[in-house]
Structures are given as structure tokens and as C-alpha cells.
A and B are shown apart, each in its own frame.
Chain A
Amino acid sequence: MEMSQYLDIFIEESKEHLQSMNEQVLLLEKQPDELSIVQEIFRSAHTLKGMSASMGYEDLANLTHIMENVLDGIRNHKLTVTQEILDALFVSIDHLEEMVLSIGNGGDGKKDVEDIVRLLHAIESGKSEEPPQNKQEQSKAGQAIFDEYELTIMKQSLEQNFHVYQISVELRDDCLLKAVRAYMAFETLEQMGEVVKSVPSVDLIEQEKFEREFQVTLISKEQPETIQNNLLKVSEIDKVSVESIMAEHIVQNEAEEADPEEEKTGADMKGEPAQKTSSSAGSKTIRVNIDRLDRLMNLFEELVIDRGRLEKISKDLKSNDLNETVERMSRISSDLQDIILNMRMVPVDQVFNRFPRMIRGLAKDLGKSVSLEITGAETELDRTVIDEIGDPLVHLLRNSIDHGIEKPEKRAEAGKSKIGTIHLRAYHSGNHVFIEIQDDGAGINRHKVLERAIERGIVNRELSEDFTDKQVFELLFASGFSTADVISDISGRGVGLDAVKNKIESLGGFVTVDSREGSGSLFSIQLPLTLSIISSMLVKAGEETYAIPLSSIIETALIKKSDIMTVHHQPMIDFRGKVVPLISLSELFEVPGPGWDEKDRSSVVIVKKGDKMAGLAVDSLIGQQEIVLKSLGNYLASVFAVSGATILGDGQVALILDCNALIK
């Protein structure tokens, strides 16, 4: 069977399910009594099992199968959530992740999972004979958790005027053949209607793995009294209670579906209704390969270029009909452009969602307690940025836990809460997205950093004496720097913060660090919204068109020749009381044609790099435009003061200025 075409989908979906399992197990750790979470994990494990079995990945299927059994045990109150179970689940998920990763890398997804399978088996069987931990609560009608299938059946039955009963059967103390009695009770029940569910499950009842009591959900047309009487006819049955409660629950359930805000009122079936609303109300999505989007974008650009030509032709021909059509087409294509660009945007959550689990593991390894708080996970970034930003963030988070957050005892001594907090924030600001990692740990020791930097020969002592704190902290990003006195397993992997800095700068972003000793550090990453589209100002120098990114423009101005001063033959202008060097774009780029100084007035674009400024004299300003950033190709890897190129409406290529290179 040809599987390769499904492989990508399989891998993507598996990753999603694993991520969701990771999240849910983390949640479960906080709320061990919340069975809806178990239900959720079960669902993911189940889907994963089905998928991997049909793709022929036996080890994956086996492991998920045994996980399912354990989860089923929890769900049916045969197992209690313990740290041991949670750890086992985490380990299993790790194994599954490895296997899926191996499949993704072209491997066979095989892995020796015997140890964990044995552990899970032990958990499953070793504790399965423990009595249900809370009989009282269990016998309460409606306590059972139903899956969607069962709920649907019950709902439909109610609609068809059947009754749904929650029946509790208790056998006599001296009952000798429990399974037989139970079997007889089931027989009786089957004659009166249909058994939807039993707690414990029929399997376990047949193996006598229950105390004296079991619950059954029955769909029937009979009256409750009849059922009770018929059941009591079976010998050795002590007590029977029949409650017709489901009607209100299911109705309630429906009400919740209509009004998600009231979710929480359905205490008995928490989770179930939430599930439904989220799956039905969630928008429909389709997975698209990024290459296809790129191709679409390229095709679209060609369309834009042809549009430019059409516009020109229609202007020359002066035909009204043609004009109108071309205008309509222009409008439609600019809408289309927005849509295509938006398609490439994905929430940063895709990266953030793997961190809670990672933090838990790290904190555990290092004997620290850390809580991770994430805000702004819905912030959107271009797919190309999302793919690259994960590693630097992991590094910074590791750094915060390893160097930032202190051990609990030390925190207590310093009068802080024993649990350290790391805030992971993402938010939009202007044309940028900021991602911040803030911890309330020890902060950065200025003295230590300086000593290390001097020792490593990164700065010399005299020079560093009047460094500001910020300048000192910047040294952390210098290559060959590590603040840990002992290289730990966590951050001593041969990569320092310099790697983080390089990565982020390669994405067109910046990273800065701020810190106060004793109260924590803040790493802030500034990223462009997208790597492929930037707002820019088009300008002309001679016959040539250049694009200047708006992000580096402060404003534009018109200056008279008489306003130009010189300092050591360098032309300067007074811009709002500040003396700013003036650069002629034509001269800088040796543009053929007359120079700018032959004119009375000149358009100047004031550009900035950090807090430094420069004036760029150009022949004329064309206007603001969104442009598609394209590389100059591998052959011209680095061209002075040019960060790339774009294709204009007329099909010609215009270069994009790199203002950072202009200002020293």
C-alpha cells in the first residue's frame, strides 16, 4: 500500500496529539481528580494508536495501547492518579515523541519500549484490584463519565421516549459467585432494555474484579419500579437503586453547548460539554505545505506584475471600460494579497506549547521549583519566523532556569516565594513582535560578568570601567562566554548566548537583556512580523528606484541647499536641533546622472540605526508601498548597504537599502 502520501499527515497529527497529551498530563498533575482530562488524554492516545497501527508502526501502537489501558483504569476509578503514573505517562510520551521523530526523519519508528510497557502493565494490573477509592461518591447517580458516543445514544433514546436509568446494584455480603450473579443481573437488564455502560466494565465484572457493587446505565421503556423488582428477583442481590437522572443531565449538556459560558455548571460531566463546544465552534482548518504557499506567493507576484502592465496599457488606451475592469482587478488582487500574506501567519503558540513540559523536566532535574506563565500565545508571526525561533527560546528558557532561578532554600533565604516564576510573553508592537522571557531569579551579577569577560579577553579592563549595566549585560552575548562557574548539563552544551543572538539577528531581529541583581532578568526579543513582506518607502536616485524599510525611517523632509553645512567636508544638516550627517544616495551608489548638489532643494529621508541618525538625500520620493522581500541569490551573498531586492509593479527589480550599514 502506498503510505508515503499519508506519512506527512500522520507525522503532523501525531505531533499534535503528543503535544496535547503533554499539556493534558501537565494539567492532570495539577488537578488529579479531573476525569475529563484523563478522557482527553485517552482520546489522543486512542487516536494515535489507531493511526500508528494502520500505518504499521507496531511499537507506537503497542505503547499507546498499554497507555490507553492505564488511562482507562483511571477513568473507570480503578486507578488513582499518582506521581508514579504521571511520570510513567510523561516517559511514555517522550518515547512516543522519539518514535514519531524517527519516522519523520525517515526511520522505521522502532524503539525498545519494553521497560516502560512493563512499568505501565505493573501500574495497570498491580493497582487494578484496589477498591474504588470513593464508593460513596461513585454510587451517586450520574457520577459516571460518558463518552460522546454514549451521550449521543442516550440523547437519541430520550428523544424517542425511552428512559435512561442509572442503576446501582449491590450484591449480598455473603455472595459466593459474584460474577455469576452479576451476569444474571445483566441478563435481566438486557431483557428490559439496552445496557450502555457499566462501572466497572463488563470485562472486569466477569473476572470478579469488583467489590459488591456495580453501576449500569440502561436505556429502557420500563418503569423504574419494574426494573428494580425484576433485578431483586435475582438471588443474592442485596440492594438495587434505579434513578432516572440522565434526562436533566443531557438537557443540561445541550444547554451548555448553546452557551459555553455556563460550561462549569454541569459539574457531573465537566469536560464533556467543553469538549463539544470547542470542537464544534472551532474554525475549520486545512493543512497546507509551506512550499505550496511560497509557490502561490510567487505566482501571485507575477500576477501583480502583469497587473502593473495592464494598468499602464489601459492608461495609454484611455478606454473607460478597460479602465474600470483593470481597477476592479487591482482591488481584487490587493485583497487577495492580504489573504495570501495572512495565510502564512501562525500563532506563536505553536512554539510556546512545548515549553511547559520542558520547564517541568528541567526544574525537576535541577531541583528547582518553577512555574511558567505564558501570555500572548495567540500573537501571530510569519511561518518562516516561527520555524526558526524555537531553538533560541529554548536556550533562553534553559538559561533562566539554570542561571536565573535559585534553589528553593536560597529563594526562601532571600525572602522570595520558594517557587520561581518565569513569564513568557509575546505581543505586537508596531511592525514588530516582541517575545520576552522574564524570571524573578537572582539576576545577573555585573561584577562576575565583567570579570569573566576580561578573563576571556572579550573586553579589556580599562575600557570596561565606565560601562553601563546594559553594556555589561551585552557581554553575555559575546562569543566564548559562559557565566556558569560549573558547566552544567543544561546550558553547557557548547552553545552560548552568542548563538541565540546570531539566530535572532539572522531573522532580522534584536535581543536585549536587562536585569536587576536579586530580583531577576528580562530577555527581550524583537522580531519583524514577517520575513517576506515589509512596508517601505520607494525613492528615486537618478533613474534607479530603491526601497527603504519604513521601520528605519524617522521622517522625510525637504531641505534647501543653503541648509547644508559641512564638518570636515562631510555634509551635515540640522534636524530638529540635532546635527545629522547627510549622505547622497546617488553618490553612495555611484548612480549615473547629475548629482544631488546641483539642485536647489533636495528630498531627504531621515533614517536611524538605534539612536543614531543620518539623512539620505534622494532625487524624489515615490511613496509608501508594501514590498515582497527577495534575496539576491547565493551568488551575491553580501552587497554593501543592500539587504535584498523586491519586484516592482512594472516587473523591474528594485534594491532594498540596509540603513544599518549606512550609519557607523
Chain B
Amino acid sequence: MNGQEIKVIVFQLENEEYGVDVHQVKSIERVSHITRIPRTPGFVKGVINLRGIVTPIIDLRSRFGMEEKQTDENTRIIIVNTDEMEVGLIVDSANDVLDIPTADIEPTPEVAGGINAEYLDGVAKIGDRLLILLQLDKVLNKEEVTQLHLIGNLG
């Protein structure tokens, strides 16, 4: 093969491992005080002060329809950057960086662990680990936030 690799940040949600392209990750933060934003969809946890920049935070578990989890000492916020949007993702833990040969990435199966497949970029098998690669611009679909919040206003 052509031997190309991508570098991903690996994080955990429940008992699954996810990967996101390192180029889209700005930093990994511990959870600080989050200011709630009223009348936004449930997965929007609020905003934090990230070194002077007000950054929205979304809970990835609740975004993916999983049950929310109390924050503990492993909980991290991954600050990602796509499309000039900077958003923090709350994950259970983030502790690995991996190089994945692009050849090892397979298309997402139609249904993967109950998660809507459109968020996913593919699945990579590394040894006996299965890594789910995220498609961030789908995860951070702005229209979805706006629509949900409009519904929230009506209700």
C-alpha cells in the first residue's frame, strides 16, 4: 500500500474507543466550571472560559444518545476545531495518541453500537482494539443545534 498514516487522539465513551484526527484537536482540558446556557439542546452543556475565549461545551455521550455520566477525575474536555468553530467535547477519558495506517480504516458498518452512523468516518482495527473514527463536522452540526433550540423555544 502507499503507507500513509493519520495520527489520532484516542478517547473513551462508555467502553468504546474513539479517534479524532489530531489536526482538529486544539487541546485537552480538565473540566472546569461550565456556565449553563438556558434553552439550548440537552447535549449543550454550556460554555467555559478557555484562556479568555468563551468556548461552547457539548456532552458527547448525550450527543450520541448515551446515558450521561457524572464527571470524575478522568473526565476530559477535548477542544476541537472545525470550520472556524471551536467546541469542547466532554469524554470519559482521553489518554492515547495513535498512528493509524489509512489502509486499516474500513467504512462504518450500517449500524454501529446504536450510534447514528453518519457521525462516523470509519472503523480502524489495531491489533485487537477497535477504534471508531469521528466525523467532526457531522457531530458539530450547527443546524441541528439551531433547530433543536427553536423547538425548545416553541415548547
In angstroms, how far is the closest chain B Cβ from the Cβ of A233?
Answer: 82
Q: Complex: how many Å from CA A635 to CA B142?
A: 6
Q: Complex: how many Å from CA A636 to CA B58?
A: 11
Tell me which of B36, B52, B56, B149 contacts A647 (CB under 8 A): B52
Interface code B41-56, partner A: CB below 8 Å = 1, 0 otherwise? 0001011110111111
Please judge, given known A-B contacts A298-B52, A631-B54, A634-B85, whether A640 and B149 are in contact too, CB under 8 Å. Answer: yes
Interface code B28-66, partner A: CB below 8 Å = 1, 0 otherwise? 000011011111100010111101111110000000000
Give the size of the chain B interface in residues (CB under 8 angstroms).
31
Residues of A within 8 A of B46 (CB): 653
Give the size of the chain A interface in residues (CB under 8 angstroms).
30
Say whether B153 faces chain A, with CB atoms less than 8 Å apart: yes
Interface code B7-36, partner A: CB below 8 Å = 1, 0 otherwise? 000000000000000000000000011011
Please judge, given known A-B contacts A302-B51, A631-B54, A645-B47, whether A640 and B39 are in contact too, CB under 8 Å. Answer: yes
Binds B, one of A35-43, A67-75, A451-459, A587-595: A587-595
* Cβ contact within 8 Å between B38 and A633: no
In angstroms, how far is the closest chain B Cβ from the Cβ of A256?
Answer: 51
Tell me which of B35, B44, B142, B153 contacts A634 (CB under 8 A): B142
Say whether B74 faces chain A, with CB atoms less than 8 Å apart: no
* Cβ contact within 8 Å between B49 and A633: no
Say whether A662 faces chain B, with CB atoms less than 8 Å apart: no
Say whether B86 faces chain A, with CB atoms less than 8 Å apart: yes
* Cβ contact within 8 Å between B37 and A639: yes
Residues of A within 8 A of B146 (CB): 637-638
Say whether A654 faces chain B, with CB atoms less than 8 Å apart: yes
* Cβ contact within 8 Å between A632 and B38: no
Say whether A651 faces chain B, with CB atoms less than 8 Å apart: yes
Say whether B105 faces chain A, with CB atoms less than 8 Å apart: no
Q: Complex: how many Å from CA A544 to CA B35?
A: 8
Please judge, given known A-B contacts A634-B84, A636-B56, whether A642 and B37 are in contact too, CB under 8 Å. Answer: yes
Please classify the interface of chain B as helix (H, G, I), strand (E, B), loop, or mixed, using the class held by over half of its residues.
Answer: mixed
Tell me which of A305, A589, A630 contacts B38 (CB under 8 A): A589
Please judge, given known A-B contacts A633-B85, A635-B142, A653-B47, whether A302 and B52 are in contact too, CB under 8 Å. Answer: yes
Say whether B132 faces chain A, with CB atoms less than 8 Å apart: no
Say whether B91 faces chain A, with CB atoms less than 8 Å apart: no
Residues of B within 8 A of A589 (CB): 38-39
Q: Complex: how many Å from CA A589 to CA B46?
A: 13
Please judge, given known A-B contacts A632-B47, A634-B85, A640-B153, whether A653 and B39 are in contact too, CB under 8 Å. Answer: no
Residues of A within 8 A of B44 (CB): 636
* Cβ contact within 8 Å between A647 and B49: yes
Please judge, given known A-B contacts A640-B153, A645-B54, A652-B49, whether A632 and B37 are in contact too, CB under 8 Å. Answer: yes
Say whether A658 faces chain B, with CB atoms less than 8 Å apart: no
Q: Complex: how many Å from CA A591 to CA B48?
A: 18
* Cβ contact within 8 Å between B48 and A632: no
Q: Complex: how many Å from CA A638 to CA B143?
A: 11
Residues of A within 8 A of B83 (CB): 634
> Closest B-chain residue to A654, C-beta based?
B35
Interface centre among A298, A590, A633, by most chain B C-beta atoms within 10 angstroms, is A633
Please judge, given known A-B contacts A635-B85, A635-B87, A636-B56, whether A655 and B49 are in contact too, CB under 8 Å. Answer: no
Say whether A301 faces chain B, with CB atoms less than 8 Å apart: yes
> Closest B-chain residue to A543, C-beta based?
B36
* Cβ contact within 8 Å between B142 and A633: no
Say whether B145 faces chain A, with CB atoms less than 8 Å apart: yes
Residues of B within 8 A of A305 (CB): 49
Q: Complex: how many Å from CA A631 to CA B86?
A: 12
* Cβ contact within 8 Å between A590 and B145: no
Say whether B123 faces chain A, with CB atoms less than 8 Å apart: no
Interface code B119-138, partner A: CB below 8 Å = 1, 0 otherwise? 00000000000000000000
In angstroms, how far is the closest chain A Cβ from the Cβ of B74?
Answer: 23
Residues of A within 8 A of B77 (CB): none
Say whether B90 faces chain A, with CB atoms less than 8 Å apart: no
Residues of A within 8 A of B86 (CB): 633-635
Q: Residues of B with Cβ closer than 8 Å to A?
A: 32-33, 35-40, 44, 46-49, 51-56, 83-87, 140, 142, 145-146, 149, 152-153
